[in-house]
Structure 1
């Protein structure tokens, strides 16, 4: 068979880094690991063409060539996902779909016209789909309650990727999370028992990327990398000598729960292995809200101390924050801002709570008859009002969201946090902070950054040069990291306007009605 694998477009979002990609001459942040793993599950004698539409769109010749179209998508991609299904139907092509969005809301894919729904985890359901095809079936829904043993997962088809178009490469070590946060859909998708690959299996994937010529940042996409701490340590102990033998070709970023700060050995191993950053789900500094949403792992130790400890281990912190929890007290947005100022987290992802399908929050709100009819606001994006009736006025929540986002990403505030975070990080001697750029792309990147922030913007021009000098004098080993953070600001300064306009549109306001007062920090605090 001739198979066309398509990955739908992402809309502009917090994580799309649009302006950064433009400055760097890149197309997308990370490749779609799920669909290239599905490609590895298909029969070897099938012909496969893969198109990540965020990098390069398929051609009409691709549509004419294929026998079957296979799509994978997250909720945030649903607009282009539906468009691709409709096009396949119009052209008389059979279409199979899978991924988190179809798994969570199967009816949407059926209504759009998909023929085959390959749901849950592909290692279990792709073989069922292939068997149905062999038997001449033309439609089907394939599900599995059983979770696969990921030690049997195939090597992803990294060879299908246009690797030079991405900021990072990606691998997966584990699936599942041991915690029980009410709003999170990871445990409903992948379960609460973290399943890990074997260390040699993960190292084989790294070796494949190395052999393909990749050097630079690599995202371990686990939703909680440290969910199984015993097995993670086994992996890290084998990763460290591999990195040494290969002269540290990669730097790693991943997602982890805040209890990472409780394990000194784990922090040390991650630092020695080349981890330069971690995304933490902090959500809120309000202890009562953490209790309500069952994020109990965030209540065991002071969160500011946890962040400082992770910085001391050599890692930059990215973090997520949420407004709109039940029983949330007024001023939650201000308290989040205060926490971010204390910790100097450069890129806080502030969002409004959404009830995702099949989560404990979804089921509870459904029983309480608080879900909004038609689920009209569910987009998977951060700047969308909640799809349920909150316990405090929605106008208050959205006002705190817009004001908070606007102030946090005011250019001077943002650049100040970037500097302070880099100054806080205890950089380890083996760490390399590099980007997968050719010399021409590197020169373009630096030239563009100097033009936009060192020349074109008078409000930050002096700050850019002053802070750059501080980094060169005090943390020259973090220069690449710092410049990358600065360049990302171009995206966030544009995105905060999009966020304000989006919220205003949903509320039926003029965007200027939403207050976006900004109070940059005093200049004297820049080098503290």
Structure 2
């Protein structure tokens, strides 16, 4: 039997007007290669499912629609997809097409977990939650000709028992950045986040040896790979982080990941980051407007006054900080746009990912806005974080669109880019001494 694991397109799946606006905007931005790194790498969950599928299928194929086209004349017994909300519209289209061809379709991931009933209208089988245990159950049922409509995981997956993803299936030279998942779970509960519905709040991680083995597998396939540790909060557990960072020093890789501002207080971790190959950390600041941040996540609100110091401290160790910010929240008025620009330039952030409120199914934000009838569209392809899909409270949708564009153009202007490059050249030069 032959299985195809497909990662659907998630970029350019909005309306024609949205896609055109985005394309025109990005043409005007300077030095956004690092921003693209965060948006274009392989589908890590699918590579894990590929490893789980290997004992059950004679041939396993991985297809990433962002880098290649699907050949619908290929003969598959099963098509599997894992996708987030912005990929869902395309995933539904593909499922319809393959079912018309008589191919059995299955899916899992963030979006199917959070809206399983809707997703089941398009797919033969839907997985809810983590798939390590349920995929094996499905594979046995599929072989016996009796697969179920839903497979729901009710167990906490022990990361120490997870398989090595099938990195060998990648057209690896098409990617600059390769994803590796070290842990699952995040102790924070941001209102916009749907991740905890899949992974929960409990932080679970692989053994250090597991992580190094995965990296060595990738190094056999790609010389000097750039690794994106896709964890929600990689450095939250100090002892584990220290042990891992020490071992990463011997791998010769360069990497980036997500964490929170508390890392700025952990000198032992900070002192190991650069030597371990870390060059960028993504931190979800979310907002610099007190009332907006308080309504989003109490833990982060309590650390708002620490933001500037945290950025300065982390970057003094030679690590660029990528800040993420949401503009157009309910407590924001139009002054938020200039305030975010000023904060970003003042703190010399290595980069910034700016987004607008996007109510992913499964999040508190979605539930609240849906009750208030303020969701403007449920065409999932528009849920890219930069298309306005909700009615803002203290500004018009047009003001939010224009303000979002203004922030990006200001942060990624030629002048701001040159200043940022000069700042980090000096910083990295001092670090190498």
In the alignment, the residues of structure 1 paired with residue 286 and residue 428 of structure 2 have an alpha-carbon distance, to the nearest angstrom, of 22
Q: Secondary structure at the match of 1:276?
A: strand
Q: CA deviation at 1:225?
A: 0.8
In the alignment, the residues of structure 1 paired with residue 262 and residue 337 of structure 2 have an alpha-carbon distance, to the nearest angstrom, of 24
8 Å Cα contact 2:105-2:123 kept in structure 1:
yes
Matched, 1:269 2:298: no
In the alignment, the residues of structure 2 paired with residue 350 and residue 119 of structure 1 have an alpha-carbon distance, to the nearest angstrom, of 30
Q: Secondary structure at the match of 1:296?
A: helix
Matched, 1:231 2:240: yes
Q: CA deviation at 1:295?
A: 4.7
TM norm structure 2: 0.87
Q: CA deviation at 1:155?
A: 0.5
- Pair 1:229–1:82, CA change in 2 (3 A): same
8 Å Cα contact 1:312-1:425 kept in structure 2:
no
1:222 equivalent in structure 2: 231
8 Å Cα contact 1:350-1:401 kept in structure 2:
yes
Matched, 1:73 2:83: yes
Report the RMSD for the aligned CA atoms in angstroms.
Answer: 2.8
Over residues 150-197 of structure 1, what are the superposed CA-to-partner deviations in whole Å (9 max), with x where a residue is unaligned?
111101001111111101122111111111222212222211111100
Matched, 1:258 2:267: no
In the alignment, the residues of structure 2 paired with residue 295 and residue 189 of structure 1 have an alpha-carbon distance, to the nearest angstrom, of 22
1:102 equivalent in structure 2: 112
Over residues 287-328 of structure 1, what are the superposed CA-to-partner deviations in whole Å (9 max), with x where a residue is unaligned?
222111115235324211111111111111222110122222
Q: CA deviation at 1:427?
A: 5.8
8 Å Cα contact 1:85-1:95 kept in structure 2:
yes
- Pair 1:390–1:266, CA change in 2 (3 A): same
2:16 equivalent in structure 1: none
Over residues 117-137 of structure 1, what are the superposed CA-to-partner deviations in whole Å (9 max), with x where a residue is unaligned?
122111132123123214422
In the alignment, the residues of structure 1 paired with residue 81 and residue 351 of structure 2 have an alpha-carbon distance, to the nearest angstrom, of 31
1:172 paired residue among 181, 188, 195: 181
* Larger proportion of helix: 1
1:137 equivalent in structure 2: 146
Q: CA deviation at 1:106?
A: 2.1
- Pair 1:356–1:378, CA change in 2 (3 A): farther
Matched, 1:160 2:169: yes
2:330 paired residue among 326, 331, 337: 326
- Structure 1, gaps ≥5 residues long: 430-476, 478-528
- Pair 1:139–1:384, CA change in 2 (3 A): same
1:385 equivalent in structure 2: 388
Over residues 100-123 of structure 1, what are the superposed CA-to-partner deviations in whole Å (9 max), with x where a residue is unaligned?
122222234222x21011221111
In the alignment, the residues of structure 2 paired with residue 421 and residue 337 of structure 1 have an alpha-carbon distance, to the nearest angstrom, of 18
In the alignment, the residues of structure 2 paired with residue 415 and residue 78 of structure 1 have an alpha-carbon distance, to the nearest angstrom, of 38
**Larger gyration radius, structure 1 or structure 2:** 1
Report 1:488-503 matches (<5 A): none
Q: Secondary structure at the match of 1:117?
A: strand
Q: Secondary structure at the match of 2:113?
A: helix
In the alignment, the residues of structure 1 paired with residue 365 and residue 32 of structure 2 have an alpha-carbon distance, to the nearest angstrom, of 35
1:451 equivalent in structure 2: none
8 Å Cα contact 1:350-1:405 kept in structure 2:
yes
In the alignment, the residues of structure 2 paired with residue 61 and residue 179 of structure 1 have an alpha-carbon distance, to the nearest angstrom, of 45
- Pair 1:57–1:393, CA change in 2 (3 A): closer
Q: CA deviation at 1:373?
A: 6.9
1:362 equivalent in structure 2: 366
- Pair 1:158–1:30, CA change in 2 (3 A): same
Q: Secondary structure at the match of 1:350?
A: strand
Over residues 316-369 of structure 1, what are the superposed CA-to-partner deviations in whole Å (9 max), with x where a residue is unaligned?
1222110122222440111101101102224321111112212222334445x3
Q: CA deviation at 1:389?
A: 5.3
Q: Secondary structure at the match of 1:375?
A: coil
Matched, 1:7 2:7: yes
Question: Which one scores higher on RCO, CA 8 angstroms, separation ≥ 6?
Answer: 2
In the alignment, the residues of structure 2 paired with residue 377 and residue 391 of structure 1 have an alpha-carbon distance, to the nearest angstrom, of 24
2:124 equivalent in structure 1: 115
8 Å Cα contact 1:370-1:389 kept in structure 2:
no
Over residues 391-419 of structure 1, what are the superposed CA-to-partner deviations in whole Å (9 max), with x where a residue is unaligned?
55444433322222232233333333333
Matched, 1:315 2:319: yes
In the alignment, the residues of structure 2 paired with residue 105 and residue 183 of structure 1 have an alpha-carbon distance, to the nearest angstrom, of 16
Would you say how many aligned residue pairs link Structure 1 and Structure 2?
415
1:41 paired residue among 49, 52, 74: 52
Q: CA deviation at 1:370?
A: 4.0
8 Å Cα contact 2:248-2:277 kept in structure 1:
no
Matched, 1:292 2:301: no
8 Å Cα contact 1:324-1:353 kept in structure 2:
yes
Over residues 256-309 of structure 1, what are the superposed CA-to-partner deviations in whole Å (9 max), with x where a residue is unaligned?
112211211111122221101111111222222211111523532421111111
Q: Secondary structure at the match of 2:382?
A: coil
8 Å Cα contact 1:171-1:218 kept in structure 2:
yes
In the alignment, the residues of structure 1 paired with residue 354 and residue 156 of structure 2 have an alpha-carbon distance, to the nearest angstrom, of 32
In the alignment, the residues of structure 2 paired with residue 387 and residue 106 of structure 1 have an alpha-carbon distance, to the nearest angstrom, of 23
